[in-house]
Amino acid sequence: MLCPFCEHPDHRVVESRVPDSKDAIRRRRECLNCGRRFTSYERVEEMPIAVIKRSGEREHFDRSKLLAGLQRACHKRPVATGALEVAVRDIEAELRNRLRNEVRSTLIGDLSLRRLKELDQVAYVRFASVYRQFEDVEEFEEELARLEREPPLPRGQVPLDEHVFANLHEPGPRPTNGRGHLRALAGGLDTDSADDTTLTTTTTQEVPDGD
């Protein structure tokens, strides 16, 4: 590794720390030539995971796309970004624990639904309505009714709001197949993010600073 300031190859580590994510080691380094300091991150090189989409196409797993999909489902919901990042990390860990280099997008979708259900039921229904491709409002109502029949929510979980039920019966013409109405209720959610899931692995990344 070269110093980002003078490109000298010799430097020493002055501090090492494991970040909260615990997926890397943060090291502060000092160049032995110019004396300036910079930060590097060391991560374990992981084998990429290929995602088999419903169309049969294969793409690399991309945790950032998965996170973006969960964030869209939680749009304007009281769910912290940190909680979604933990969910994505757990989903990725579960995929890797299966010791396979290929997984189906449906598995990622199911794992996403499971985590959203624990975090926020409105976000769960939004994601489910598109991921499961509900054909009409009745299927949407059945999913809501099923959630209502389940045991009490764990402490801290956000329940379904009254407006979710109210929106199902808004006045005015209803689309013949209900798909447009459902997509509006889902807040424009596009679960292609669950299908399009490229792991970017960084072994060592230099971040210069002004120290």
Torsion (CA) 115, 69, 156, 182 in degrees, nearest 10? -100
Query: Of all helices (H) and strands (E), which one includes residue 58?
Result: strand 58-60
Q: Using CA atoms, how far apart are residues 131 and 106, in angstroms rounded to an integer?
A: 9
Comparing 141 with 167, which gets the higher pLDDT? Answer: 141
Instruction: Count the residues in the chain.
Output: 211
**What pLDDT sits at residue 27?**
93
Q: Give me the mean pLDDT over the 121-133 stretch.
A: 78
**What pLDDT sits at residue 188?**
44
Segments of 78-128 assigned E as strands: 102-104
**What pLDDT sits at residue 136?**
60
On the 0-12 / 13-18 / 19+ scale of CB atoms within 10 A, 89 is middle
pLDDT digits (tens, 9 = 90+) for 13-39: 999 988 776 678 999 999 999 999 999
Domain ranges of the chain: 1-44, 50-195
